[in-house]
Structure 1
Amino acid sequence: MSNVHTETQTDRMPDAEDRNELCARMQHALRDLRAGKIVVVTDDDDRENEGDFIALSDRITPDTVNLIITEGRGLLCQAITPERAREMQLEPMVSRNTALHSTAFTVSVDAIKGCTTGISSSDRAITIRTLADPESAPEELSRPGHIFPLVAAPGGLSERRGHTEAAVALAQLCGALPSSVLCEILDEDGTMARGSRLSAIADRLGMPEISIQDIIEYEAALANEPEVVETARAMVPTRFGRFQMRVYADAAGREREPFVLIPESFIAELESRTGAATTAPSKRAATEKQPAPLVRVHSECLTGECLSSLRCECGPQLDEAMRRVQQEGGLVVYLRQEGRGIGLTDKIRAYALQDAGLDTYEANTALGLPPDDRSYAVAAEILQEIGLTELRLLTNNPDKIHGLEQGGITVTERVSLIMETTPENHAYIRTKQEKFGQLMEENMEDKNDYSGN
């Protein structure tokens, strides 16, 4: 875990061609991290050129821990922010740090609940998730233990070009909890793997390889341009009327081609509200004569929308949203977050577990995946780019309200999206109410037609 600080490379910015390659490389790594996979992160080329395995703490599984410690052979640590260290009351391992690169170890920890000896891959995964979970309390960790927290420098990579800071930066770029696990990569002979040997290991394991310099340049590139940019627009005739479809590119690689559907009849009013016809959008608030537009933030569901699956109510929800915004004035933001963010393959794997008796929450966790891995940051940024910062939100999901408000959007009213349930999706909808905190106006025992996507 080299933490050598250098000054010289931070000033170098890539040209356009190099920048495109950098963005592609980084976005590949970020996609893999969000999917719970591991990436290889190297030091600066003109320094030790050592490498670490890095994976997101909030997506860690026993299998991932086992792969890291088996293939890496180094010390398994967990990078956290200074704020998290204070919240969990983690003191420095020693009162006087004389480590070569001042690596900020705290006391080691184990999770108390769910752990046995603390050393197994399963126990370590539980500890890692517990330490990363913002709902965890200090008394949920025993000290000492088998996970070694490392505290990132307050200034991140601009202050210290170490793997600890890189691990936290990657988690933040992914929109995940600001913590990652990391482990030095040793060669088979016990020496540090470097250069071509690191690349060979990454290739053999099918892992992306990036450098700390890549992360720094990527963060700088994002800081110098809008995070979401409109790339195309055209009118699309639908069963619910004509809609203008605007497609966006996400510079951070969090979303693949999100888009917006705006009823043709609402375009002029939207431009009037946001000042889109001027060079500087006014983003003026709604008035009594102009109630806030109705907005639906909808996550992709191929099975429900294209195959008319009865397991969920996503298809009817999208239809109803398009009908409502056409009728009342508003728009639909469509995010490519298949399977609540876990992707189509894992969604179908979760379906198989549901067929065996698990509910949707249990199936995701059994696969080592978050029950809901969606983020609404991109939706908020798209709405900001459009200039629509005050709206009524068509949803039963409080997470969407919170996510948009974190992105600077004011939700003046939550409008329920009530759909008829079926025998096939009744248990699914009940799980969303009971385990995902969906807001239901009536008890499902009394009215069997509430949903909550």
Structure 2
Amino acid sequence: MSDFDPIEEVIEALQAGQMIVLVDERAVDVDGSELVGEGELMMIAELADPNSVHFLARHAGGPVYVAAETSHLEKLGLDAASAGATGPRGASYMVPVNARDVEGTGVSAHERALTIRRLADPESTPRDFVQPGHVTPIAAQSGGILRRAGHTEGSVDLARLATFSPPVAVLASILDDDGEVASTPYLLNFATRHGLKIATLRDLIAYRSRSEKLVNLEARARMPTRHGEFTTYAYRSLVDGSPYIALVMGEVDDGEPTLVRMHSCCVTGDALGSNLCDCGEQLQAAMAMIAAEGRGVIVYIQSHEGRGIGVLHKLKAYELQQEQGLDTIEANHALGLPADSRDYGIGAQVLQDLGLRELRLLTNNPRKRVGLDGYGLRVVEQVAIAADPNPHNIRYLRTKRDRMGHSTLLEEGDRSDAQSA
């Protein structure tokens, strides 16, 4: 029996005006290292009052945010905290605000509750707020938790599922008694102590994946390749319209664990043969491994170019690496971009539509495993892909290994420094 409450019960609690605890058991740092868990105390914004705001501040211990859809915050004329103002895992923060009719500084529980309710009011306009203030809005990505598996999107999804419109939530990070990020056991005890429902992002993802379909199959065709014949399935995301191409070999809907590669589009590596990365080699290796087994799937994700920053930004990052000596992560940050902004929710729906449930995931990246596990799929094995380093990508591969947790299979003095790079 699960320690967590069913999503249906959590939705009912929110509808009744109660707070809930929302847990990310799958939280992972940018470098790929796992955290012990992250939890947020959550409530519906339009129901905020001085007592609930005081409870959030006193018992959670961490920052308090108001989460809403980007379109709603744009309607209110709210500004991003700075250009490319995103947190380490892609959260988008706005400039803190006060409601214009707040009479004091805006910091009291009464005043913050008023500002929170104004942010959730469908009749509010930009004239109803002043900046800066003491309540920080945070923007949820379009598509919700199936687009980005974070507390921000999860809380807005829950507000929507609880039939509040606009769906706006209040979040407060829960810290333990030492002021550190609370572990999952602490969060379970916290919920019991305060009589609150508690749910995981994983369960919310599974709930939405079961109840909604966010991809549409547009075309199907045979594709002979140097590795044998695949069948291509062309999907379109109903979240943002982007294409997802599945290369399928053999019977993959028979319930057996299936070899799967989620491949991020890389024009420079896949099509142009660039030696600055190992993407093209990994794609061909994955196709060969699937052909050797006679069954498997590759999902080719165009929107993942450059770990989600796009080909133009990727080339700008290359320029910084070559002219200023930055590594791949530092170059992204210098451009005001996250190290990795990819998400796998829509790709997971492609796999589900193809009939897959259990995966043998072809990847050297632990974040991919975390990104898929929970979307109604189960990763039963992570299968490494070998790619030989060369003088041009050896530093890139070391950065992925040392700073992002990749198992890049670099051995023997990093292959003699990629043959004396």
The alpha-carbon deviation at position 232 of structure 1 amounts to 0.8
* 1:93 corresponds to which of 94, 100, 107: 107
Normalised to the residue count of structure 2, the TM-score between the two structures is: 0.57
1:270 aligned counterpart, secondary structure: coil
- Tell me which of the two structures has the higher relative contact order, counting C-alpha pairs closer than 8 angstroms and 6 or more residues apart: 2
**Aligned 8 A contact 1:305 1:315 in 2:** yes
**Aligned 8 A contact 2:397 2:408 in 1:** no
Q: Distance in 2 between matches of 1:362 and 1:437?
A: 16
1:258 aligned counterpart, secondary structure: strand
Q: Distance in 1 between matches of 2:143 and 2:353?
A: 25
* 2:85 corresponds to which of 40, 60, 67: 60
| Match status 1:76 vs 2:65 | no
| Match status 1:300 vs 2:287 | no
2:78 aligned counterpart, secondary structure: strand
Q: Distance in 2 between matches of 1:370 and 1:381?
A: 24
The alpha-carbon deviation at position 376 of structure 1 amounts to 1.4
Aligned residues: 277
| Match status 1:316 vs 2:316 | no
The alpha-carbon deviation at position 270 of structure 1 amounts to 2.3
- 2:311 maps to a residue whose letter is L
| Match status 1:431 vs 2:399 | yes
**1:386-420: CA deviations, max 9, x gaps?**
12010211111000111110212211111110111
**1:183-219: CA deviations, max 9, x gaps?**
xxxxxxxxxxxxxxxxxxxxxxxxxxxxx98989xxx
Q: Distance in 2 between matches of 1:98 and 1:416?
A: 50
Q: Distance in 1 between matches of 2:328 and 2:396?
A: 7
**Aligned 8 A contact 2:81 2:95 in 1:** no
**Aligned 8 A contact 2:266 2:305 in 1:** yes
**Aligned 8 A contact 1:376 1:403 in 2:** yes
Q: Distance in 1 between matches of 2:370 and 2:114?
A: 43
**Aligned 8 A contact 2:216 2:236 in 1:** yes
Q: Distance in 1 between matches of 2:271 and 2:335?
A: 25
The alpha-carbon deviation at position 437 of structure 1 amounts to 0.9
Match of 1:355 in 2: 322
The alpha-carbon deviation at position 444 of structure 1 amounts to 5.8
Give the direction of change, closer, same or farther, for the CA distance of 1:237–1:351 in structure 2 (3 Å limit): same
**Aligned 8 A contact 2:391 2:417 in 1:** no
Give the direction of change, closer, same or farther, for the CA distance of 1:244–1:362 in structure 2 (3 Å limit): same
| Match status 1:334 vs 2:271 | no
- 1:299 maps to a residue whose letter is S
| Match status 1:232 vs 2:219 | yes
**1:333-370: CA deviations, max 9, x gaps?**
11111111000110010010011111111100100100
Match of 1:85 in 2: none
- 1:270 maps to a residue whose letter is V
1:445 aligned counterpart, secondary structure: helix
| Match status 1:257 vs 2:224 | no
Give the direction of change, closer, same or farther, for the CA distance of 1:100–1:341 in structure 2 (3 Å limit): closer
Give the direction of change, closer, same or farther, for the CA distance of 1:249–1:61 in structure 2 (3 Å limit): closer
Higher strand fraction (1 or 2)? 2
Give the direction of change, closer, same or farther, for the CA distance of 1:330–1:93 in structure 2 (3 Å limit): same
| Match status 1:270 vs 2:244 | no
Identity %: 35
Q: Distance in 1 between matches of 2:73 and 2:118?
A: 21
**Aligned 8 A contact 2:386 2:409 in 1:** no
Q: Distance in 1 between matches of 2:352 and 2:209?
A: 16
Give the direction of change, closer, same or farther, for the CA distance of 1:238–1:53 in structure 2 (3 Å limit): same
The alpha-carbon deviation at position 57 of structure 1 amounts to 8.8
Unmatched 5+ stretches in structure 2: 1-43, 47-68, 88-92, 99-105, 120-131, 154-163, 169-207
Give the direction of change, closer, same or farther, for the CA distance of 1:59–1:424 in structure 2 (3 Å limit): same
**Aligned 8 A contact 2:209 2:376 in 1:** no
The alpha-carbon deviation at position 95 of structure 1 amounts to 3.9
Match of 1:122 in 2: none
Structure 1 residue ranges (4+ consecutive) displaced by more than 6 angstroms after TM superposition: 212-216, 221-224
2:230 aligned counterpart, secondary structure: strand
1:350 aligned counterpart, secondary structure: helix
Alignment of 1:58-207 (within 5 A): 59-60=84-85, 76-77=95-96, 93-97=107-111, 103=117, 148-150=134-136, 164=137, 167-168=139-140, 172=144, 175=148, 177-178=150-151
Give the direction of change, closer, same or farther, for the CA distance of 1:398–1:60 in structure 2 (3 Å limit): same
Root-mean-square deviation (Å): 4.0
Q: Distance in 2 between matches of 1:4 and 1:446?
A: 53
Match of 2:350 in 1: 382
**1:268-322: CA deviations, max 9, x gaps?**
x324x0xxxxxxxxxx3x3xxxxx2211110000001111111011111111111
Q: Distance in 2 between matches of 1:406 and 1:222?
A: 10
Q: Distance in 2 between matches of 1:384 and 1:176?
A: 17
Give the direction of change, closer, same or farther, for the CA distance of 1:100–1:231 in structure 2 (3 Å limit): same
- 1:306 maps to a residue whose letter is A
Q: Distance in 1 between matches of 2:220 and 2:78?
A: 41
Normalised to the residue count of structure 1, the TM-score between the two structures is: 0.53
Q: Distance in 1 between matches of 2:215 and 2:379?
A: 21
The alpha-carbon deviation at position 171 of structure 1 amounts to 8.7
